[in-house]
Structure 1
Amino acid sequence: MARGVFMAGALALSLLVTGCVAGTSSEGAAVADDQPFEGEVEFWTINLKKNYSDFITGLIDDYRKQHPKVTVNWVDVPGQESATKLLAAVASGDVPDAVNISSLDLGRFAPSLSPLEDYFKPADLADFQPNLVEPLRIDGKLYAVPWYNGGAPVAMYRKSVLEKAGADLGKPPTSYDEALALADSVHDKTEVYGMNAIPDHNALRYYGIKLLSDDKKSAAFNTPEAVAILEKFKKSYDAKGIAPGAVSKDIRNLPQTLENGQIAFKATANAAELLNIQKNAPEVYEDLVVTPPVRMSTGGFLLLAQQAFSIPKASKHKKAAAEFIKFFTNGANQLAFCKIVPIYPSTVSSTKDPFFSGSDGDDPMSVARSVIVKGLPELEYTPIGTAKDSELGELLSEEVRAYLTGTKSAKEALDTAEKRWNDALAS
């Protein structure tokens, strides 16, 4: 279920944008605050031009009105080339000056990024949600400022199924343990699968399991507590509370989903999933009740990723890049972007607009927007924190799938996953 949050919001969270801003500064010589910027701005985006050309062009026009001596050259790059292009730029030293980077890649690129304290003072960060800024610090230094995210998760329940099971939707599950119990009860009483979650690394974080050692050089999740968590999920999986297809490797196309009506609920999901359900299964959409999701052991909500802006160390125009980032991520521009894409802002001022604060309807999307906005200050972004986060997550999921399908015991699965993590980290 937790892994579904990321995949459901993939459209919003896979927009990797990079940008180059040229100003009148040179390496080591900052531009005075009142000095106009001059030169060419080469602004890269990834797969945005097809759907968001008018929006990006409008922002560029607005920026040029404020800085008439700046020429903007917008380049849109195929998504499959984004990481390779940034790696090549860093290797060559011919880097973009302002780069949009996924928080999942921040640890990977941090050694080549410039700390931002010289360019973003406390006043420049004041409108950002503090809980979204702090995770972008590494060893006390800020390496990125937030842009947008998939929002706080929500829970979605099929009213007809839950009522048949005798569940009280006025008191939805607040923890994974409660969600597992409900899932088992639903299947027992209705023969509808409860949910499609597995105890991957994200689910372990909901239980407060520490994934890595403090020095991030070795796995730390192989504990008796983690074994007990896997056993809880296996019990539910065997009882059909968890759908059999939950062990499928292709999590983008699980056999049993809310959309195809084969599960009863998702205890934590990205609201972007609602758009797909509304479009592809309107009868399911009309049957949904949206509530706050299950919480982590800390009481907060897990944020799996966010988009942010950084400045490479090799940039010769850091001041100009910083000023462009401030413009591009300001509250008004984030709000405008959120109105055309199912994403959520990192700025507090954006959430006070009626677009968010006025979400008082009772349809699933309106309720979801209200739940999400209220949950933004409680988001906790807790990445694994390495350059190999995605690889490590899949390595653990492979072993969890082996356990759920009976190939290994819980301890054997965690032992193997621990060794594979340590080998990957060592290499």
Structure 2
Amino acid sequence: MRPPALLSTLRPALALVLGAATLAACSSGPVAQDAAGPAKLTVWIMKDSVSDGFLQRFEADFEAGHPGTTLDVQIQEWEGIGQKVTSALASKDAPDVIEVGNTQVAQYAASGGVHDLSDKAAELDGAHWIPGLADPGKVDGKQYGIPWYAANRVVIYRKDLFAQAGITTPPKTREEWIADTEKLNTGGTEGIYLAGQTWYVLAGFVWDEGGDLAVKGADGTWKGTLETPQAQAGIGFYQRLQALGKGPKDADEAKPPQAEVFAQGRTAQLISTPGGAGAILKANPELKDKLGFFPIPGKSADKPGAVFTGGSDLIVPESSRHQQAAYEVVKALGGDKWQTEMAKEMSYVPNRTTLAPALAGNEGAAAMAAGAVNGHATPNSPNWAAVEADNPIKQYMTRVLTGTDPATAGRSADAAVTKALSGN
């Protein structure tokens, strides 16, 4: 799933002959034999994932380290990408490397067209991968998607309004967060702006309670789980927090755009990716130097709140004619050097927790990285996209916030989620 408000182009470059024996020496584990003769590696990167400059530097560096290699990096639009990738995976001439949303991996792996890279996990330091990227990349115990970068929500707050309310440090627990938000609801200030259908935020609260949005049964079928006590506890906390602001109960954070609401100057907090600060400052430059960031608080001070990890994984199609060379591209993009450069330039969370220091000095990205250690992904069903299409979770939230019994609303939502996940 592509992280909102985050995420250019590289032009084709030089020429290559990569012998299969050379590639076998620099890659670990058995992978498909590369086609003989000159090869050009085709890499699909999504629009705005990284800057032109980053891609140009990566291309030059990779080709210098792999003499004769040609990288043809082609920029793809997010709109309509699902069908395009599905068609490519079914073809006999797929790209060699494809960037995909982390929650899309299961859907693509189900086609049988994605190469299993499980034997590469140790070499890529998979033990330290961010769970919200690594977990959806693994399907039926096989690692098809290699984590590339992540982004998750944090709390953006007004430092000046916190100070006026006597709050000297950001809250570390949910209850501290509620208490501080109540303090901020004075003198015409809105303690927090939280729209009623911000379902990724709700998901975090449900995960904190030990629940989920849907689970896979022993028989292999998926079913919604919003009627469970854990989900009811999660929506209960959401209801308490949402009531401390004036956000609409029947809309999400895009209607109206929450950054524009915050920019009006009367709101103390909102939940967004750090990139949301740019939209706020564009609408109201006077808020420059007044914005701060902290991880979404958890149930206890020793662990931040659970967050949805959006971002991208890298996959290698089965029909790639140069799988060994393709793996070298994945290895480089996921390695220390380019993960660190991407974190600094794009303010993304690197794919491994051990690289968090790369974000030092960037307050928003550092808060995001701190929260990423408790990152999660949506249920790893190949049909999850069907749930999001009509999204009964949003409807469930509005019903609860407007007075419907959570169990009753959850039962109805579960039926819709279960039907969507069944593929019917």
Q: What residue is the counterpart of 2:290 in the other structure?
A: 287
Shift of 1:93: 4.0
What amino acid is the match of 2:185?
H
SS in 2 for 1:122: coil
Q: Does 1:423 align with 2:419?
A: yes
2:161 paired residue number? 161
Deviations along 1:20-62, whole A, 9 cap, x unmatched?
x998689xx995216999411122233259x833332232222
Runs of 5+ in structure 1 lacking a partner? Answer: 1-5, 360-365
**Residue in 2 that maps onto 1:219:** 224
Which residue of structure 2 lines up, in the alignment, with residue 123 of structure 1? 123
What amino acid maps onto 2:272 in structure 1?
A: A
TM-score, scaled relative to structure 1: 0.78
Which residue, 263, 275, 278 being the options, matches 1:275?
278
Contact 1:154 1:270 (8 Å CA) reproduced: yes
1:424 deviates by 0.8
Contact 1:290–1:367 (Cα < 8 Å) also in 2? yes
Secondary structure of 2:51's match? Answer: helix
AA of the residue aligned to 1:210: D
Alpha-carbon shift at residue 423 of structure 1 (Å)? 1.1
Q: Which residue of 2 aligns with 1:12?
A: 6
Q: Percent of counterpart pairs with the same letter?
A: 17
**Residues 243-392 of structure 1: pairs in structure 2 closer than 5 A:** 243-245=246-248, 247-249=250-252, 251=254, 253-254=256-257, 257-266=261-270, 268-295=271-298, 299-300=303-304, 301-347=306-352, 350-353=355-358, 356-357=359-360, 359=361, 366-376=362-372, 378-392=373-387
Cα distance in structure 2, aligned partners of 1:104 and 1:252: 24
Describe the shift of the 1:318–1:234 C-alpha distance in structure 2 as closer, same or farther (beyond 3 A). Answer: same
> Counterpart amino acid of 2:331?
K
Moved more, 382-391 or 411-420: 382-391
Change in 2 beyond 3 A, CA 1:16/1:234: farther
Counterpart-to-counterpart distance in 1, 2:410 and 2:402: 15
For the residue of structure 1 that corresponds to 2:79, the secondary structure is: helix
1:169-212: CA deviation from partner (whole Å, max 9, x where unpaired)? 4251522x543454345336645253315473513223332322
Answer 1 or 2: which has greater helix percent: 1
Q: 2:97 maps to which residue? A: 98
8 Å contact kept, 2:208–2:234: no
Equivalent pair of 2:215/2:222 in contact (CA under 8 Å): yes
Q: Distance in 2 between matches of 1:12 and 1:115?
A: 28
Instruction: Measure how far apart 1:157 and its partner are.
Output: 2.5
Distance in 2, Cα, partners of 1:347 & 1:159: 30
For residues 307-364 of structure 1, the C-alpha deviation after alignment (integer angstroms, 9 at most, x for no partner) is 11112233332211111111222221222233332322124665445xx33x2xxxxx
Report the secondary structure of 2:83's partner residue: helix
Secondary structure of the equivalent of 2:185?
Answer: helix
Q: Is 1:248–1:254's contact at 8 Å kept on the other side of the alignment?
A: no
Q: In structure 1, give the amino acid aligned to 2:67.
A: P
Stretch moving more, 270-279 or 128-137: 128-137
SS in 2 for 1:155: strand
| Distance change in 2, residues 1:30/1:58 (3 Å) | closer
- Residue type at the aligned position of 1:315: S
Q: TM-score, normalised by structure 2?
A: 0.79
Q: Is the 8 A contact 1:145 1:308 kept in 2?
A: yes
The answer as to whether partners of 1:195 and 1:243 remain within 8 angstroms in 2 is: yes
2:295 and 2:370 in contact (8 A); partners too = no
Q: Which amino acid aligns with 2:4?
A: A
Q: Contact 1:258–1:284 at 8 Å: present in 2 too?
A: no
Equivalent residue number for residue 139 of structure 1: 140
Alpha carbons of 1:121 and 1:170: their partners in 2 closer, same or farther (altered >3 Å)?
A: closer
Taking the TM superposition and a 5 Å limit, the aligned residue runs for 1:388-427 are 388-393=383-388, 394-406=391-403, 408-426=404-422, 427=424
1:32 counterpart residue number: 24
Whether the aligned pair in 2 keeps the contact of 1:132 and 1:146 (CA below 8 Å) is: no
CA distance in 2, matches of 1:290, 1:306: 20
Gapped runs of 5+ residues in structure 2? 28-33
**How far apart are 1:293 and its partner, in Å?**
2.6
